[in-house]
């Protein structure tokens, strides 16, 4: 091949290479891959920083709450500073990629402001003298502000010279030593509250009502579900009485009795701690197929006690049956009755609490029965929109025996197997947990449990601090 031929062949090869476009996409992709990789990496870094910031926000909330508990309110303000700082530091040490210097104000600042009955306010920037206000009057209100600032390390953006992203936030909590509170009691007086409050009371009630349910004596069983049966009078004669009347005559406690006693104790506790400012107000409602107001919201707690002392089972007429329960009507009704909750600093801005006693089951079939779970969505208007705290005493059922007086018998009552057993607590409790505010569902099976749970709700309400933001 001559030189001319070689040159011509080379020229043709160069021309073919120049005209070949098949590798362009690959080259363009290669050029674009670098910025795409960095953009993706920066997105990962940003998401990581925001997750870290969310965790720090939760820790800051916990720290600000730690400074305003009722326990720290009774101690010098230095103890509140220490509680807030300890909570924040202990929960941030293990966060991956976080750089936050808690020894510097830019990393962690805690400011506590105490306000006294005289109206004067004293701000403390932590750390402060641990004995500050050690011998002075205790504050009426306390506000704690926790502010943090730090950085989250980048994995990808560091290559481009952006080594970190800033994370920062603040949390403010406030509590009142004696907060203004409006408590709305929604008390179940349906026939399920006509059950005996204990196994021993169930045995007594069954013994008094067994063999007396039917005039022709063909249907012989002890009636334990609040229905109307005969009872024996002191003179030995028989007369038609409801279970509640029989229980009252023979000192047998029904669940409605325990509910009434516990509500009275709750109100009495509030009355004893009430001062001239009348911090507490109560409103009382009872419910079955419908909700009925029996006491408007008032700070006259003696009047509330008198109202609650008359609480009894609602009527069971066998047709529309007040013995049934409409929890949807309860929640809709209370949402219409209760205004938005305040921070508790004044009576006009009182904190709002709704305390419900319920077995968590709806029954709306008139003369028949169709048990169903409650709809927790009905609670959202109060919790989400009005910031009302919902506390629930979930009254689970003791197994109702068919022959309570027979210690060896394990057979359960027909009504229990029909109405209660198909909906065990494992199905009911999750619905009630969704309805109740976090930490405000208490479960009780017997009289002692119901009583203790209702008192705990009130105690918890008087000690509950509030996260402002």
* Residue 447 banded pLDDT, cuts 50, 70, 90: confident
Q: Are residues 358 and 437 in the same domain?
A: yes
CB 443 within 8 A of CB 433: no
Answer yes or no: is 330 within a domain. Answer: yes
Taking the C-alpha atoms of residue 323 and residue 419, their distance in angstroms, rounded to an integer, is 13
pTM of the shown model: 0.66
In 3-state terms, what secondary structure has residue 310?
coil
Q: Are residues 403 and 458 in the same domain?
A: yes
What is the per-residue pLDDT across 106-149, written as a single tens digit (0 to 9) for each?
999 999 998 876 777 888 889 865 555 544 567 878 899 999 99
Q: Are residues 191 and 152 in the same domain?
A: no
Answer yes or no: is 153 within a domain. Answer: yes
- Checking if the pLDDT of 293 tops 80, the result is yes
Q: Are residues 169 and 260 in the same domain?
A: no
What is the number of other CB atoms lying within 10 angstroms of the CB of residue 81? 24
CB 65 within 8 A of CB 467: yes
CB 376 within 8 A of CB 431: yes
Ranges 5-9, 46-50, 57-61, 184-188, most confident:
184-188
Q: Are residues 443 and 296 in the same domain?
A: yes
Hey, what are 412's tokens?
Answer: 């359960």
CB 288 within 8 A of CB 314: yes
- Checking if the pLDDT of 22 tops 80, the result is no
Q: Are residues 155 and 191 in the same domain?
A: no
Q: Are residues 142 and 190 in the same domain?
A: no
44: containing domain: 27-176
State the average pLDDT over residues 66-75. 80
Q: Are residues 166 and 274 in the same domain?
A: no
Answer yes or no: is 21 within a domain. Answer: no
């Amino acid at each position: 091949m001559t030189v001319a031929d070689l040159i011509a062949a080379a020229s043709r090869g160069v021309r073919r290479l120049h005209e070949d476009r098949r590798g362009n996409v690959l080259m363009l992709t290669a050029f674009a891959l670098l910025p795409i990789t960095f953009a993706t990496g920066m997105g990962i870094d940003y998401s990581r920083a925001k997750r870290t910031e969310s965790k720090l926000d939760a820790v800051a909330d916990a720290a600000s709450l730690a400074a305003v508990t009722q326990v720290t309110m009774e101690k010098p303000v230095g103890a509140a500073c220490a509680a807030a700082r300890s909570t924040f530091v202990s929960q941030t040490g293990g966060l991956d990629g976080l750089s936050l210097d808690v020894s510097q104000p830019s990393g962690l600042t805690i400011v506590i402001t105490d306000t006294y009955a005289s109206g004067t306010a004293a701000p403390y920037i932590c750390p402060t003298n641990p004995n500050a206000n050690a011998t002075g009057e205790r504050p009426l209100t306390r506000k704690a502000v926790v502010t943090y600032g730090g950085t989250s390390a980048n994995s990808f953006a560091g290559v481009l010279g952006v080594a970190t992203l800033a994370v920062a936030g603040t949390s403010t909590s406030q509590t009142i030593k004696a907060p203004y509170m409006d408590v709305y009691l929604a008390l179940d007086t349906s026939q399920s509250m006509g059950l005996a409050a204990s196994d021993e009371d169930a045995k007594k009630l069954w013994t008094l009502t067994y063999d007396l349910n039917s005039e022709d004596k063909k249907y012989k069983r002890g009636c334990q579900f609040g229905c109307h049966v005969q009872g024996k009078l002191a003179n030995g004669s028989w007369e038609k009485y409801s279970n509640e009347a029989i229980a009252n005559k023979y000192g047998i406690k029904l669940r409605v009795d325990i509910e009434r006693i516990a509500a009275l104790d709750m109100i009495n506790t509030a009355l004893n701690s009430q001062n001239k400012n009348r911090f507490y107000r109560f409103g009382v409602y009872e419910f079955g197929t419908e909700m009925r107001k029996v006491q408007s919201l008032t700070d006259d707690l003696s009047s509330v006690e008198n109202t609650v002392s008359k609480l009894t089972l609602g009527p069971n007429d066998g047709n529309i049956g007040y013995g049934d329960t409409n929890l949807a009507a309860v929640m809709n009704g209370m949402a219409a009755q209760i205004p938005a909750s305040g921070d508790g600093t004044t009576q006009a801005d009182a904190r709002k609490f709704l305390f419900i006693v319920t077995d968590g089951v709806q029954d709306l079939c008139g003369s028949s029965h169709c048990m169903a779970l409650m709809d927790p969505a009905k609670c959202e208007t109060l919790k989400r929109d009005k910031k009302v705290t919902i506390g629930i005493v979930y009254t689970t059922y003791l197994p109702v025996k068919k022959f309570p007086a027979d210690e060896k018998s394990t057979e359960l009552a027909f009504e229990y197997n029909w109405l209660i057993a198909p909906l065990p607590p494992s199905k009911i409790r999750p619905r009630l947990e969704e309805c109740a505010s976090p930490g405000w569902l208490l479960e009780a099976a017997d009289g002692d449990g119901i009583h203790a749970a209702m008192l705990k709700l009130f105690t918890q309400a008087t000690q509950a601090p509030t996260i402002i933001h």
